Amino acid sequence: MSYPMKMAGAFFTAFLFTAFILPRLSRLAKRIGLLDIPNVRKVHNEPKPLVGGLGMMMAVSLSSLIFIPLDDLRGYFAGMILLVITGFLDDFRELDHKWKFAAQIGASLLAVFLSNAQLHTFGDLLGFGDIHLGVFSIPVTVFCMVGVINAFNMIDGLDGLAGLVAFVGFATFGLLSAFSGNYSLLLLSLAMMGSILGFLRYNWFPSTLFMGDAGSMALGYSLAFFSIALTQKGGAAVPPVAPLMILAVPITDAVIVMTKRMLRGRNPFIADTNHLHHNILFLGYSKKTAVESVGLLVIILSGIAAFGTMTSMRETILFGIFVFYLICHGLFTFTVKKAAFWQEDGEARPPLIRALMPHWFRNLDPETGLLNEKAITENLEAELEISKRDGDLSFVLLEHPDFSGKECGGAKIRIHNLLRGIIRKTDIVGLYKDWIALILPE
């Protein structure tokens, strides 16, 4: 079979299989309870199946068995299977973090010893010659792979976001694979792109399913594997700094967010709402705009990486661009005021600091206005505790999709009265279609 036929086959087999299998896996997930339940940190409103990762990796495996030589990829696939199983168990029953880290380390070691995916050098980042790792090669490799896995997992926070970032990443790695003559990785990148495109058919706005940890860990691991496999072989045409640029957004986001947590005396691994996409939302932009903004940023940085590689740009220049982006990202995260005026249909909306999720009101009856007061109270108290600890919350918007139209006016007033009883010093600012605005006391 000719290479163009293999390329087309790898892509379309993965795409069609993913598009075919995901609806069926979704129905199964609903029966067995493999669902992402909304909570105070998440921005979706209803439970959704966590099967995207399973479907994508099944599709990639099938495509690879048909079209891709597996001699140098056995360790990679063994690690991927380990992470998919671990991610599935975590999605289903929420594993302790130590088990996930153990699986990530195990998968990285499988890639190191069975696929020779090992970091030997960081390249000439500072202009003083290549930075060789020597005896630290294996531990640094494992540390970097586990870091990328978790960084990618952290960015999976909005419909289509992780899929878009991964698609751009694999597209760029595919281009660099062709440039360096590594056709096995080119075919694998095409299979990845096909599976992600099939997944995005169901994960784009409005999403009907999520990839889950099975998907985010496997994709992060795959991106880390490509980063090493393309840059560490003898005479590699791709400098090590190129993958750093391609993955700059998830890597810098993870580093900055974890740094911010530690500076506040918090566990760096406890999730919060300080990621780049959250900060864009806090400025009042829509979820779709946030995803498109992050995606555009990834495209620009990946384009610079590809252009720099193919034009033999000095590694110090590419690294300088990465450092510049890191500084800009950090300044934005640490200085952004979580307040801005939101314009929608010409209507000025109040500052959006934090959205308290609609599922809190899932028991609302639009006719009677009856609410689950206990659930609302508990979530408000949790939110207030976070704001007191972080010192960055003075304004809250409560969202509910049923708050639209005059027929819900009475229900909204009853909610106002209930909230006044819960937070007696809260000022109710006003009604904004599907929003209730509150000002909290200092």
Instruction: Output the pLDDT for position 38.
Output: 64
Instruction: Output the pLDDT for position 281.
Output: 73
Asked if residue 403 and residue 324 are part of one domain, the reply reads: no
Instruction: Output the pLDDT for position 244.
Output: 97
**pTM as predicted:** 0.78
Asked if residue 383 and residue 304 are part of one domain, the reply reads: no
Asked if residue 364 and residue 316 are part of one domain, the reply reads: no
Asked if residue 196 and residue 77 are part of one domain, the reply reads: yes
Report the number of distinct structural domains present in the chain.
Answer: 2
Instruction: Output the pLDDT for position 271.
Output: 74
Q: Residue 186: how many CA atoms within 13 Å on its side-chain side? A: 16
- The residue out of 304, 335, 366 marking a domain boundary is 335
Asked if residue 187 and residue 296 are part of one domain, the reply reads: yes
- The CA distance from 58 to 244, in Å, is 28
Asked if residue 106 and residue 52 are part of one domain, the reply reads: yes
Q: Return the biggest CA–CA distance within the chain.
A: 73
Asked if residue 151 and residue 265 are part of one domain, the reply reads: yes
Instruction: Output the pLDDT for position 145.
Output: 98
Instruction: Output the pLDDT for position 379.
Output: 57
Instruction: Output the pLDDT for position 158.
Output: 86
Asked if residue 242 and residue 141 are part of one domain, the reply reads: yes
CA distances from 173 to 133, 142, 423 (A): 24, 20, 52
- The residue out of 281, 312, 335 marking a domain boundary is 335
Asked if residue 330 and residue 353 are part of one domain, the reply reads: no
Tens place of pLDDT for every residue, the chain, 442 residues? 788 899 999 999 999 999 999 999 999 999 998 888 765 445 445 788 999 999 999 999 999 999 998 888 999 999 999 999 999 999 888 888 899 999 999 999 999 999 999 999 999 999 999 999 999 999 999 999 999 999 999 998 888 999 999 999 999 999 999 999 999 999 999 999 999 999 999 999 888 999 999 999 999 999 999 999 999 977 778 999 999 999 999 999 999 999 888 887 778 877 777 788 877 876 667 788 889 999 999 999 999 999 999 999 999 999 999 999 999 999 888 776 443 333 333 333 333 333 343 444 444 444 444 444 455 555 555 655 555 555 444 444 444 444 443 344 444 444 445 554 544 444 443 433 444 444 443 3
Instruction: Output the pLDDT for position 54.
Output: 96
Instruction: Output the pLDDT for position 63.
Output: 97
| Domain encompassing residue 399 | 342-439
- The residue out of 305, 335, 365 marking a domain boundary is 335
Asked if residue 322 and residue 175 are part of one domain, the reply reads: yes
Asked if residue 225 and residue 132 are part of one domain, the reply reads: yes
Asked if residue 376 and residue 313 are part of one domain, the reply reads: no
